[in-house]
Amino acid sequence: MTRSYRYGNKLIDKFCLSCGNDNISVCHKQNNVSNERDDVSNERDDVPNKRHDVSNERDDVSNQRHDVPNKRDDVPNQRHEVPNKRDNICNVAAAKVVKFFL
């Protein structure tokens, strides 16, 4: 069995738990002990990444929001076309007040 450990700022990858030797290759050859982690294959390498295999379906659909013309541009702004009735009322009221004081 092997284990990684930190020696000061230096990370020593593996050392033998049976004898404590830092040179793992020499220790394993002498003791005929196989590294258990090296014998196990990485199963995740065989599985394809499904996220990258799927094409982006949104790219195929055109953006319908930009394809529809803006209906509000065709309609004139009615608010500015209607005369302001409030101004006329104020002018009439002001004229009555002036006549009252004269």
Residue 70 lies in a domain: no
Number of domains composing the chain: 1
Residues 8 and 5: their CA atoms lie apart, in Å, by 10
Q: Is residue 67, in this structure, part of any structural domain at all?
A: no
Per-residue pLDDT of the chain (102 residues; tens, 9 = 90+): 455 555 566 655 666 666 666 665 665 555 454 555 555 555 666 666 666 555 666 655 665 666 666 666 666 666 656 666 666 666 777 778 777 776
Q: Report d(CA 70, CA 7) in Å as an integer.
A: 69
With 0-12 / 13-18 / 19 or more C-beta atoms within 10 angstroms meaning exposed / middle / buried, residue 55 is exposed
3-state secondary structure of 74: coil
Q: Residue 97's pLDDT is what?
A: 78
Name the burial class of residue 16, with classes exposed (0-12), middle (13-18) and buried (19+) by CB atoms within 10 angstroms of its CB: buried
pTM of the model: 0.16
Distance CA 28, CA 44 (A): 27
Specify if 11 maps to a domain: yes
Q: 10 Å Cβ neighbour count for 84?
A: 9
Whether the Cβ atoms of residue 33 and residue 23 lie closer than 8 Å to each other: no
Q: 33 and 16 in contact (C-beta within 8 Å)?
A: yes
Q: Do the domain assignments include residue 22?
A: yes
